[in-house]
Amino acid sequence: MTSPIAPSLGNSGHLIMCRMPFAIRLDLRLLLSSLLLFLATSHIGHAAVILDPAVARVDISQSGEIYEDSSGQLSIDDLLQPTFQRSFRPLENGDLMLDGSTQTYWLLFRFRNTHNETLRRILELRPAHLGEVTVYAHRSGTPAEERATVFPPQDMLRPQRIYRLNLPAGSATNIYVRIDKHADIRVSVKLFSDIAFISESSQRDIGNFFLLGVLSTVSIYCLVAFLVYREPLFANLCIFGVLVMGSQLMAWGYLGQPRGMLPPWDSPVMIISAIGILLTEVIFALGFPVYPKQRPGHWPNILRGTLFLLVAALPFSIITDAHYSGILLSILVPLTAASTLFAGLNGYFVSYSRLLLFYLLGKSLTLVIYLLAQLSYLLGVLDIYDMNALLSLAAVIVALAHATLLITRSRKRWRMQHEDAQRVAVVDEVNRAKSEVLARITHDIRTPISAMLGVTELLQETQLTASQEDYLRSLQRSSHELLQLLEEAGQAARFSDSDIDLNSQLIALPELVSDALSSFRNMAAERDLELISDLSNTLPMQLLGDLSRLRQLLIHSLNSAFEHAEGGFILLKIGPASPRPGHLQVEVSHRGSNFTGDERQALQRPKVEKKDSAMSTRFAIIARLVSLMGGQISLRNSASRDVHTLCMTLQLGVISNKQPSPEATDLLNNKRLLVVDSNRTFCEVVNKQCSPWGMGVFSATNEQAALAIMRNQRLVNAPVDFVLIDHRQSDNGLLLARRVKEEFANADHQPSVLLLAHANISYSREELQAAGVQRVLSKPLGNIALRSALLGESRVAERGHDIDQYSSDALNYHSLRCLIAEDNPSNALVLSRMLKSLGITVQHAENGQQALNFFIRDHYDLVILDVEMPVMDGIEAARQIRQFEQEEERERTPIFGLTANALDEQRDSYLSAGMDLHLVKPIRLWELAESIQRWTGYQHQKD
């Protein structure tokens, strides 16, 4: 029995074997056969690859031999020596997983072309970022001393490790591959025909560009969506797509040298991109969010901690080498995946949101693809190119899933906003209808009340007995209580939860405050309350905000102060709350009863409830308005002075940060003003108002102190220029004015005496002249009114004014001609009697069209139009009167609108129609007289 591959031993050997015993001969033969077989297979290795022209693609990774050169000093000439040929060993599974600690690897592939034509093949080494590769070809049968031919790599549009081989007919060729400067990496070697290589490369490029196209489309859409919806997560997803596309382009070699999508990398750019992709994942989980908002637990902190670790890993990945960066990334990837996945899983089981379920499905799918790709690559089932394609596919799935989630949520939000807008529109329509009904009811009730109160006003001018005066006062008090009930009902109906939008318009704060205070002038006069406004001189010149809301806030606040005030004063103080532009501090103080518990609770609960009382409703509206204007609200009490303050901060816009400069106040510089008033707060406010004008202000609380100050100032040659006397001082202020006139009658410098009185206080011309009063100012006294009065008196003094010549705001004293349009006979009669009692000639019209005809044919100094009339209402009549004046170039005639509608919403429409003043029924006689005096200069002189 002989071995089929053992060499023959010859005849002598055969004779020796024949003489031995049979068992010994058998053992020797087996031993010799095994030894010869071992020696033969130690250098045979793999058989040569027989090339077949019909086979276009061959994976030869397991058909070659490998040699590990630890020193890296061997050359191709050394390996061609017979001694080194036996050093190669056959490739087996796992042998092409190169170890970075080995300096150089040599691969040997044997090819045999048994056909009669030269075969052209392309040798591709994967991956392209393998390291430094040199390929040699050596023809079998040539002397070992003959050096092998070096094959240069072929240039392609995309960097690849390919080499073109020409294998002659009937030849046996050995291909040697030297690999230097490599990392821990798996290598695959494939042999292609030209057509097969182009086909596979094209398919790979098409797949890559398809994935890149999907990512670029998602990124562009997210960028546009971010610009439209201002949703930060769309920008985050756009950054995710850009990072993934950049990583793919660098990994495949479309940008620079190919790097692959698995570490280690020779540049920190890839690991920075990878950490950036993980950052966008965590940011999306935080911003979406994937944890329940109601019961988030520790998941927000866990995600923030993961985010912090990723941010901290960025500088570490830059300063450390590629090996440790790869280890760091292998820790961060599962950490990020686990934190986001478990947070989303917990959130779903708490909220059962379908969006979170979709997020979990997409997350799970990408995680399965990632794990399968990693496992297949480690087991050698996939090469590096297939691995890159699967990772790119996972990134595309993440981008599509996140984009779908954001689009779904955005549409859901848009749908909810649309539904809310429709609901608000319906609520607004209902509120508008309610307001119209309320306006109609208010008008219908106020109209007869107006007639009743007007009659009582006229009856008070007649001779009445004591009992009749009591009856009249009871009638007036009951009528005012009924009007107060109407006002409270209107306040509750005018403000609703749908009132959340603020307009932005220019606000002149002094005019707004003066307008708000004027509506309480009558109430303050009847209750003998001092209504004081204190505007800081450091406020910006121009403010932006909702003028109607701000006026509504001031009116509600002053209303609450009047409800609590028991005497003394009510102070409205407005100044800067902080150095921030437009940050205002509004304080409304009163002396009287403290705020109730319900009112305090209403301030903390800025929502109007049906069960709220009138006062708590008002405070809830105040709190809601302050909240809408970005402010805060609080209550402050001063037990020592019995003063209670409602404090509010508001944030308004500012056009100019420049501080207002007083206009034409040079005449007031170095002038001295004496304020005689028992209210120290009012004196302090006047001092603050006059100081920026360069004036010196003195205050006195009684007659003796006032005269003493004036005497002292005359002795130091700094006499007082103006004396402002409250009408409540000693015999309605006239006694003190008379004392001042008598004492300084012969002085070189005589002061101008100004009398401050409520609007319902009237004096005859003879009384004022006898007391030496030059001007009567109405309470409440604002900054603009005070400055105008002081400037007017200064100009008169410069022209040599006679102190005995009384002057007031009246411009003329001839009888006015007034046109009134009122369809209600009772109200028309009352209004006509009131005007005639003031010495005014009256022309009555029953509707707006008749009033327009009268106005066209004749001249009138004043027009009073009822807003709601048949044929033509007051608004249309005012509009046509203004148009007629413009066409005929007539001087503008003051027009008063008269209405029983007390809602502020109608105010702007009346004024925009051309009316100068909006009067609410019922009108008091002295209120009507003051309005006429303010707009025409006419003042009735008592006989």
Return the number of other C-beta atoms located less than 10 Å from residue 83's C-beta: 8
Burial (CB < 10 A; 0-12, 13-18, 19+), residue 145, is: exposed
504-537 pLDDT, tens digit each: 778 888 878 887 787 777 777 777 788 888 888 7
842: confidence class by pLDDT, cuts 50, 70, 90: very high
Task: Give the contacts of 627 (CB within 8 A, at least 6 positions apart).
Answer: 606
Contact indicator for 647, 635 with CB cutoff of 8 Å = yes
Residue 927's nearest CA partner among 904, 894, 896 is 896
Does 551 or 107 have the greater pLDDT score? 107
Q: What is the rounded (10 degree) CA torsion for 28, 33, 36, 40? A: -170
Longest dimension (CA), the chain: 174
**Taking 70 as the threshold, does the pLDDT of residue 767 lie above it?**
yes
Across the range 880-892, mean pLDDT stands at: 88
- Point out which residues pair with 865 in neighbouring strands: 821, 897
Structure tokens at 390: 């699967």
For 644-682, the DSSP string reads EEEEEEEE-EEEE-PPP--SS-GGGTT-EEEEE-S-HHH
Q: Residue 662's pLDDT is what?
A: 46
Q: Residue 41's pLDDT is what?
A: 41
Distances (CA, A) of 694 to 342, 597, 673, 792, 869: 72, 46, 11, 17, 52
Pairing of strands 161-167, 65-69: unpaired
- Point out which residues pair with 98 in neighbouring strands: 185
Residue 666's nearest CA partner among 791, 797, 789 is 791
**Taking 60 as the threshold, does the pLDDT of residue 802 lie above it?**
no
Structure tokens at 464: 């009445």
Across the range 838-856, mean pLDDT stands at: 90
- State residue 605 phi and psi, 5-degree precision: -130, 80
Does 917 or 339 have the greater pLDDT score? 339
Q: Residue 219's pLDDT is what?
A: 92
- Point out which residues pair with 573 in neighbouring strands: 534, 587
DSSP-assigned letter for residue 693: G
> Which of 25-34, 487-496, 722-731 has the highest mean predicted lDDT (pLDDT)?
722-731
**Taking 90 as the threshold, does the pLDDT of residue 171 lie above it?**
no
**Taking 60 as the threshold, does the pLDDT of residue 746 lie above it?**
yes
Q: Give me the chain's average pLDDT, please.
A: 79
For 401-425, the DSSP string reads HHHHHHHHHHHHHHHHHHHHHHHHH
How far apart CA 180 and CA 901 sit, in angstroms, is: 95
Residue 761's nearest CA partner among 917, 923, 929, 921 is 929
Residue 123's nearest CA partner among 131, 132, 115, 135 is 135
Q: Residue 657's pLDDT is what?
A: 52
Contact indicator for 826, 448 with CB cutoff of 8 Å = yes
Burial (CB < 10 A; 0-12, 13-18, 19+), residue 480, is: middle
104: confidence class by pLDDT, cuts 50, 70, 90: very high
Distances (CA, A) of 515 to 87, 347, 520, 547: 106, 56, 9, 12
Structure tokens at 741: 């006139």
Contact indicator for 689, 814 with CB cutoff of 8 Å = no
Contact indicator for 626, 605 with CB cutoff of 8 Å = no
615-643 pLDDT, tens digit each: 566 777 788 888 888 888 888 887 666 78
Across the range 124-136, mean pLDDT stands at: 86
**Taking 70 as the threshold, does the pLDDT of residue 868 lie above it?**
yes
Does 488 or 886 have the greater pLDDT score? 886
Least confident of 310-324, 349-363, 402-416, 645-659: 645-659
Backbone CA torsion sign across 886, 890, 892, 896: negative
Does 184 or 308 have the greater pLDDT score? 308
Q: What is the rounded (10 degree) CA torsion for 399, 405, 410, 412? A: 160
Provide the CB-side half-sphere exposure for 578 (13 A, CA).
Answer: 8
Q: Residue 3's pLDDT is what?
A: 33
Burial (CB < 10 A; 0-12, 13-18, 19+), residue 761, is: middle
Structure tokens at 275: 């950490």
Across the range 343-348, mean pLDDT stands at: 89
500: confidence class by pLDDT, cuts 50, 70, 90: low
How far apart CA 672 and CA 695 sit, in angstroms, is: 6
Across the range 81-85, mean pLDDT stands at: 78
Across the range 695-702, mean pLDDT stands at: 88
Burial (CB < 10 A; 0-12, 13-18, 19+), residue 315, is: exposed
Instruction: Determine if residue 260 is left, alpha or beta; phi over 0 gives left, psi from -120 to 50 gives alpha, anything else beta.
Output: left
**Taking 50 as the threshold, does the pLDDT of residue 394 lie above it?**
yes
Q: Residue 307's pLDDT is what?
A: 92
Across the range 425-442, mean pLDDT stands at: 71
Q: Residue 639's pLDDT is what?
A: 63
Q: Residue 771's pLDDT is what?
A: 83
Across the range 94-100, mean pLDDT stands at: 76
Least confident of 6-10, 141-145, 897-901: 6-10
Across the range 883-901, mean pLDDT stands at: 85
9: confidence class by pLDDT, cuts 50, 70, 90: very low
Contact indicator for 251, 270 with CB cutoff of 8 Å = yes
Contact indicator for 198, 56 with CB cutoff of 8 Å = no
> Which of 117-121, 739-743, 862-866 has the highest mean predicted lDDT (pLDDT)?
862-866
302: confidence class by pLDDT, cuts 50, 70, 90: very high
Q: Residue 820's pLDDT is what?
A: 94
Percent of the chain with pLDDT over 90: 12
Does 591 or 41 have the greater pLDDT score? 591
702-745 pLDDT, tens digit each: 888 888 888 888 888 888 989 998 888 766 678 888 888 888 87
How far apart CA 216 and CA 218 sit, in angstroms, is: 5
The kind and range of the H/E element at 499 are none
How far apart CA 793 and CA 517 sit, in angstroms, is: 25
